[in-house]
Amino acid sequence: MSMSTSLKQQPQPDTAGADLEIGKWERVTEIGRGRWFVAYRARPRHFSASGQADYVVKVPLEKDVSETALHMLRREATVSQEFSHPHVQTVLEAEFTRSPNYLVLPYFPGETWGDLLGVSMWRLAPRCLWVFRQVAEGLQALHEAGWVHGDLTPGNIYVATTGHTLLIDLGMSTRRAVSGDQRRKVFTGTLNYAAPETFVAGRVVDASSDIYGLGVLLYEALTGRLPFALADSHCLPKAHRCTRPLPLERLTPELPDNLIAMVMRMLAKEPCRRPHAEEIVSEMIELEVAMFAQRLRLPSPIDTQRVA
């Protein structure tokens, strides 16, 4: 399943007769609702009533679709048309020529990372690395295709029951800056996960801003707390810009030094000091292999290199 950032899973059977139809699709169950959109598990109308509902139809909440909601739907469709990747949400169909406007996405059982954050086993370092290495691979592909996600949050990471992970909700994506000429005029995103430069008018917001958001997500996953957990949200922009988060080694001293160093580099205040997604993927793979080898009590590639 894939849905908008703020959609919360609230399965509700539909009983509205003819209202069950959305274009060529028949909705079966409401599976999420947020500020802008509602998502339904659905199947093609020509399927029998017992046919599998293997799709998600995402439609604006309001019949009079706002320009913002329509822009977000179009943006998701555009990104999906330009490239595909196993760890980035796919749009199968889009309808913009007649009402209602909607997107069709593949359905598969699972939960958002936000739903899993409170489950202790998912906060173990090996599982975190498994999930976030897949997210980093999706980000790498997105950046190489010329896009910035722009709103990395726990609700925008979807983990299937198999563990396969998707980067979802591309409605706030923007084109990557070319020659430094793409500058953010207003803030967009989610305060807790936004990079320092997103709060400064005229600053270029690029792939490195996504890396900062990924760093916040990893910090939260590994420690159980945000880098800046402030009661007054008005203080968050200044904290992101000026305050260093509590060092990871003080909160989780059992973590490998190179994992701690990687996360802290991702949280660098200056965008130029953050690693690229490609570097993060490479480091995470090494860490995954090392942790797996440690569990099996085998020499890891890192240890082998040191011996050599």
The pLDDT of residue 293 is 82
The pLDDT of residue 20 is 78
List the structure tokens of 31.
């599976």
Spatial separation of the C-alpha atoms in residues 5 and 271, rounded to whole Å: 24
The pLDDT of residue 181 is 45
The pLDDT of residue 298 is 60
List the structure tokens of 123.
């906060």
The pLDDT of residue 295 is 76
Q: Give yes or no for a cis peptide into 100 (omega within 30° of 0).
A: yes
> Amino acid letter at 230?
L
Domains of the chain: residue spans and CATH: 12-106 (3.30.200.20), 110-307 (1.10.510.10)
How many CB atoms are closer than 10 A to CB 144? Answer: 15
List the structure tokens of 235.
């203080």
What's the predicted TM-score (pTM) here? Answer: 0.85
Q: H or E element: which one contains 208?
A: helix 207-223
Per-10-residue mean pLDDT of the chain, 308 residues long, equals 47 52 90 87 82 89 82 95 95 93 94 89 88 98 96 95 95 76 60 92 85 98 90 85 93 94 97 97 96 74 55
The pLDDT of residue 224 is 92
Spatial separation of the C-alpha atoms in residues 282 and 138, rounded to whole Å: 13
Half-sphere exposure of 73 (CA within 13 A, CB side): 27
DSSP structural state of residue 60: E
Spatial separation of the C-alpha atoms in residues 61 and 65, rounded to whole Å: 8
The answer to whether the CB of 106 falls within 8 A of the CB of 56 is yes
The pLDDT of residue 2 is 42
CB under 8 Å, gap of 24 or more: what pairs does 22-31 form? Answer: 22/57, 22/59, 22/100, 22/102, 23/95, 23/98, 23/100, 23/102, 25/55, 25/57, 25/102, 25/104, 27/57, 28/53, 29/53, 31/1, 31/3, 31/56
The answer to whether the CB of 74 falls within 8 A of the CB of 82 is no
The answer to whether the CB of 158 falls within 8 A of the CB of 168 is yes
Coil, helix or strand at residue 251 = helix
The pLDDT of residue 34 is 79
